[in-house]
Amino acid sequence: MVNKSHSKIADLDNYDLAILEILQQDNIFPQREIADKVNLSAAAVNRRIKRMTDNGVIKSNIAVIDPDKVGQFITIIVNVEFLNEQIELIDEAKRKFSSFPQVQQCYYVTGEIDFILVINVPTMANYEALTRQLFFNDSNIKRFRTFVAMDRVKVGLAIPVNGNSILK
């Protein structure tokens, strides 16, 4: 099944890629300074950022927060396997998993399991309560396996775009 959002690749030139590379490191980097780095005017950089936002290339501008600094000390990866893989039940699960703020990432995957979730919680007691809402109260979940992260070695959402960037 192909995700509809992958149906058309955006038409990006080397300037766009360079701008994206900078914004992924610091999305509040001043546009005048971006313009200097990529050798364009600030107005041209502004237009390009607006176009990439309007076209869905830039999905959002967010602050990346250290989970430990806000009391979310435990990162958990959960593999979820369903009894029945009817598309309506899969879509319902996608909606349910997406609605919980503790679920940081949710992937519908191929193979023996159906979903991989990345969850942040302050305590294991919080996770236990969450499992009741997400898994135990859902009769379509055959099993789930929990993996507690010992260390967050690398966490990020940056997409490699520098293959053709002018910032090399």
Record the pTM.
Answer: 0.83
Residue type for position 10: A
**5 or 162: whose pLDDT is higher?**
162
pLDDT digits (tens, 9 = 90+) for 92-141: 999 999 999 999 999 999 999 999 999 999 999 999 999 999 999 999 99
Contact 80, 111 (CB under 8 A): no
CA dihedral 139, 149, 130, 94 (to 10 degrees): -50
Q: Which helix (H) or strand (E) holds 33?
A: helix 31-38
Helix or strand or coil: residue 79? strand
Helix or strand or coil: residue 54? helix
